[in-house]
Amino acid sequence: MQEFLQMGGYAGYVWSAYAITAVVLIATALWPGIRRRRLHAALRKRWQWERSE
């Protein structure tokens, strides 16, 4: 295990490359969901408001 984590002396390079990839991919994947929730909530609110007119 210790040996695996050390990556033959390249631990800093290998793990940082994978960590950055994970962060960028997760952020990219989450973004549309956040936008969708915001947009759908705004639309539902507007429709409700239109009905109460």
Partner 1 sequence: MWSFLHRLSSPPTFYRWSGVITPIFAVIAAALLLVGTVWGLAFTPTDYQQGDSFRIIYVHVPAAMLSLSVYMAMAFSAAIFLIWRIKLADVFAASFAPVGAAFTLLALVTGSIWGRPTWGTWWEWDARLTSELILLFLYLGVMALRSSLPERNQAARAAALLAIVGVVNVPIIHFSVEWWNSLHQGSTVSKLGRPAIDPSMATPLYLMIFGFMFFWLANAFSRARVEIVDREQNKRWVREALGDKAEMQRRAGEK
Q: How many residues bind partner 1 (CB under 8 A)?
A: 28
Please give the Cα distance from 53 to 51 (Å, whole number): 5
Which token pair is 13?
A: 């390079």
Please give the Cα distance from 44 to 40 (Å, whole number): 6
Question: What is the distance, to the nearest Å, from the Cα of residue 12 to the centroid of all Cα atoms in its chain?
Answer: 23
Q: Which of residues 10-39 bind partner 1 (CB under 8 A)?
A: 10, 13-14, 16-18, 20-21, 24-25, 27-29, 31-33, 35-36, 39
Residues in contact with partner 1 by CB under 8 A are: 4, 7-10, 13-14, 16-18, 20-21, 24-25, 27-29, 31-33, 35-36, 39-40, 43-44, 47, 51
